[in-house]
């Protein structure tokens, strides 16, 4: 599919979403964060090596929202983001996972959704390979 898209001049965004069964605790869902960040990062690097023409990678989806990340934690997400960022090609662009809205139809009082603004502020320090605490470009 990637090759077909490239043949038609379509750039592909690589999505490193969810946790494969081998990367998370037994009996948990794919929405659980991986147990071992280095293993997930190695998977990301393997995906990048397999698809060298993909030059932009998004790490997870909705990391502030329980349906997409069991027990959301900006600190745990940043650790995963940093581990993944460190192994991808320095020429690639790394994007944080899109955040879920807060206070709308996706948010229920018991949902565990973290306010995206709070999540972003907790996620700092900022993006960019040139800054300290690198975790993403965008």
Where exactly are the structural domains of the chain? Answer: 2-123
113, exposed or middle or buried, with CB in 10 Å at 0-12, 13-18, 19+?
A: buried
DSSP E strands: which ranges in the chain?
Answer: 14-16, 56-59, 93-96
40/33 Cα distance (integer angstroms): 10
Record the tokens describing residue 133, joined without a space.
Answer: 């605490």
- Position 114 scores a pLDDT of 82
- Position 22 scores a pLDDT of 85
62/3 Cα distance (integer angstroms): 28
- Position 41 scores a pLDDT of 93
- Residues 6 or more apart whose CB falls under 8 angstroms from that of 42 comprise 87
Q: What are the residues facing 45 on neighbouring strands? A: none
pTM for this model (two decimals): 0.81
Residues of the chain where predicted confidence (pLDDT) is lower than 50: 126-128, 130-131
How many of the other CB atoms lie within 10 Å of CB of 71? 10
């Amino acid at each position: 599919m990637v090759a077909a898209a490239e043949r038609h001049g379509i750039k592909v965004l690589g999505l490193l979403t969810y946790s494969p069964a081998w990367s998370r605790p037994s009996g948990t869902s794919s929405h659980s964060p991986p147990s071992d960040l280095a293993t997930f990062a190695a998977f990301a690097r393997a995906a990048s090596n397999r698809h060298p023409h993909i030059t932009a990678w998004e790490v997870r989806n909705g990391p502030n929202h329980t349906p997409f990340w069991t027990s959301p934690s900006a600190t745990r997400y940043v650790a995963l983001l940093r581990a993944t960022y460190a192994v991808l090609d320095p020429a690639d662009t790394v994007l944080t996972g899109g955040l879920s809205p807060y206070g709308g139809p996706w948010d229920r009082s018991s949902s565990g959704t973290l306010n995206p603004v709070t999540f972003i502020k907790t996620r700092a320090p900022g993006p960019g390979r040139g800054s300290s605490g690198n975790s993403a470009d965008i």
